[in-house]
Structure 1
Amino acid sequence: MTHKLRAEYGPQGAAGGVKSWHVVRDEDLSTALCGRTMPDDAETRPEQEWGTGLRCCQQCGSLYMHETPHLQGSHPYS
């Protein structure tokens, strides 16, 4: 399963900047993992940008971590 990041904007829309980034599945770009409906014109970024300092939805992040496979040997205790 692959994912994307989608932007949530504040009351000023895209002109006011991104309020938070949400994680969506590639199969449904309109619904974030947290259940929020994402607008069709929301900026989209690759999932590799999750965890790079972007302000992300905590609930989406938690659910994303459960859906994302971890590579064996990538953790010092594995």
Structure 2
Amino acid sequence: MTHQLRAEYGPQGAAGGVKVWHVVREGDPAMALCGRTMPAAAETRPEQEWGTGLRCCQQCGSLYMHEVPHMQGSHPYS
């Protein structure tokens, strides 16, 4: 499954900068994993930028980690 990051803006909109990044499934970019509806015009970034210091939605991040295998082969039982 492929994901994207999608921006949520504060009260000033895009001009005020990104408030928080949400994770969306590529097949449903209007709905964040946390359930928030995302505007179609919101900035997107590739999922590889998750965990690189961007301020991300904690609930989206938790759900994302359950959907995406991280560091495959690094666990002794992998």
State the TM bucket, normalised to the shorter chain. over 0.9
The answer to whether the aligner puts 1:64 opposite 2:30 as a matched pair is no
Equivalence for 1:37: 37
Aligned to 2:51, the other structure's residue is in SS state: coil
The whole-number CA distance in structure 2 between the counterparts of 1:70 and 1:54 is 18
Q: How many residues align?
A: 77
Which residue of 2 is the match for residue 15 of structure 1?
Answer: 15
- Matched residues, percent identical? 83
Structure 1 unaligned runs (5+)? none
Gaps of 5+ in 2: none
Question: Separation in 2 of the partners of 1:57 and 1:42?
Answer: 15
- What root-mean-square deviation, in Å, do the aligned CA atoms of Structure 1 and Structure 2 show? 1.2
2:74 corresponds to which residue? 74
Whole-angstrom distance in 1 between the partners of 2:65 and 2:72: 15
